[in-house]
Amino acid sequence: MKQKKIYIQAAEQISIQSPLSEQWMEEPVFYDEASLVKAQNPSFRDYMAANEARRMGNIMKRALVTTLKVLGETGIENPDAIITGTSLGSLDYTERFLDSIIENDEQTVSPTYFMQSTHNTVGSALAIYTKTHGYNTTYSHGGTSFDLTLLDAWMQMQLGKISTALVGGHDEMTEQFFGLLQKVGYVDVDGMVPCGEVAMSMMLNTSEAVEHLCELAGLRVCFHPSREKLQQQLTEMLDEADMTLADISAVMTGVNGHSENDRLYHDTVQALFPEKPLLHYKHLFGENYTVSALGLYACAHLLKRNEIPSFLYDSKQHVSSLKSVLFLNQTREGNVSMIILKKA
């Protein structure tokens, strides 16, 4: 099967950087002291009625606003598919519902928080709000939740089933859950980036005619791959995209200053990409399960602007001519994904 071309048409974010803009490219905010940073919320009332905003948790409002912005930019009211990635879903409402079960000893519990607590609440709310009846699903697989949304859209585009897809990665963080993550040593380790929050929506389109940020040239998701297996996956993916390793201008990794996490990337880079300039993004966007969505968003905008700000480099070696970026996402549980974005 000849691989179809897929483009990233638009991508918007709400994170610990300035929301709904690429201001982070000129004025990045670094949180040197903090270990937990909440997202910078935009003015939600510019996008929805006050009573609507009141009924939604933060994760949902952010997902909805990034989505509406992307729909506005692309002029696509109803994408063929809405595919959402979230590791913890509506965490805040989940905890509020747990609190109310305990406080009221399972009596007189209000269903409000429960109704928004399932992981697919976000993705289905986007469909309800935009009246989109197409394909709709949600992946919730820790640090690769977002990557799996891209894989799903990519497969259905290759099969000719859909031509547009709204994909996204969304996770919020609460003080209480952060406390647990501290105890297990997942966050707030010496030298590590802060824990952040993630909302990113992106439109994929198979039409070459539309203006776009870049091309999604290929992707692979694997689990505990051996070095040989990973090499084989990379070669296959490059072949299918009609590319060679020489066409990869840089590799963006998810190093975050946590030694257990960073070792995974160093091993892969050394084995597969020893000569490549390296980029990183978690020092800008923080750590959270679906933060790969923000890394990929950043790559897409770098390719569009044809520039890489110096603070994104994680190697002495810089890119001479920017053609494509290989995005690498690895989790401590053993999930690995490789995604190639290419200048269109």
Partner 1 sequence: MEPIYITGAGVVSAIGRGKEETLTSLLAGKTGIGKMKYLTSCHNDLPVGEVPFSNEEMAQKLGIADSMFHTRSALMGRLALREALNEAGLKGDALREAHFISATTVGGMDRREAYYELEKTCDHNYAVIATHNCGTCTEMIAEAFGEFASLSTASTACSSATNAIITGANMLRCGLAEIVVVGGTECLTKFHLNGFNALMILDAQQCRPFDRDRAGLNLGEGAAYLVMETEASMKKRGAKPLCVLSGYGNACDAFHQTASSPDGEGAYLAMQEALQLAGMKPEDIQYINAHGTGTPNNDESESHAIQRVFGNHLPPVSSTKSFTGHTTSASGSIEAVFCILALQHQFLPQNINWKNPIEGGIIPVIDQKPQGEIRHILSNAFGFGGNDSSIILSKCEA
Are 136 and 82 within 8 A, CB to CB?
Answer: yes
Rounded Cα gap, residues 235 and 230, in angstroms: 9
State the nearest-atom distance from the C-beta of 76 to partner 1, in Å.
15
Query: Interface residues for partner 1 in 39-68 (CB under 8 A)?
Result: none
Choose one: 189-197, 268-276, 295-303, 330-338; the region binding partner 1 (CB under 8 A).
330-338
State the nearest-atom distance from the C-beta of 98 to partner 1, in Å.
5
- If binding is defined by CB under 8 A, does position 224 make contact with partner 1? yes
Q: Which two tokens stand for residue 172?
A: 């919020």
- If binding is defined by CB under 8 A, does position 177 make contact with partner 1? yes
Are 89 and 113 within 8 A, CB to CB?
Answer: no
Are 9 and 212 within 8 A, CB to CB?
Answer: yes
- If binding is defined by CB under 8 A, does position 158 make contact with partner 1? yes
Binding mask 117-156 for partner 1 (x = CB under 8 A): xxxxx-xxx-xx-xxxxxxxxxxxxxxxx--x--xx--xx
Q: Cα-flanking dihedrals φ and ψ of residue 69, to 5°?
A: -65, -45
Q: What residue has token string 């923000």?
A: 294
Return the residue of 24, 265, 281, 289 that touches partner 1, per CB under 8 A: 289
The strand pairing partners of 85, in sequence order, are 139, 169
Other beta carbons less than 10 A from residue 155's beta carbon? 12
- 3-class state of residue 97 by DSSP: helix
Are 263 and 302 within 8 A, CB to CB?
Answer: no
- If binding is defined by CB under 8 A, does position 313 make contact with partner 1? no
Q: Which is nearer to partner 1, 39 or 166 (CB)?
A: 166
State the nearest-atom distance from the C-beta of 45 to partner 1, in Å.
22
Number of residues that bind partner 1 (CB under 8 A): 68
Amino acid making up residue 331: T
Binding footprint of partner 1 on the chain (CB under 8 A): 1, 82, 87-89, 94, 97-98, 101-102, 105-107, 109-111, 114-121, 123-125, 127-128, 130-145, 148, 151-152, 155-156, 158-159, 176-177, 179-181, 183-184, 186, 221-224, 289, 333-335
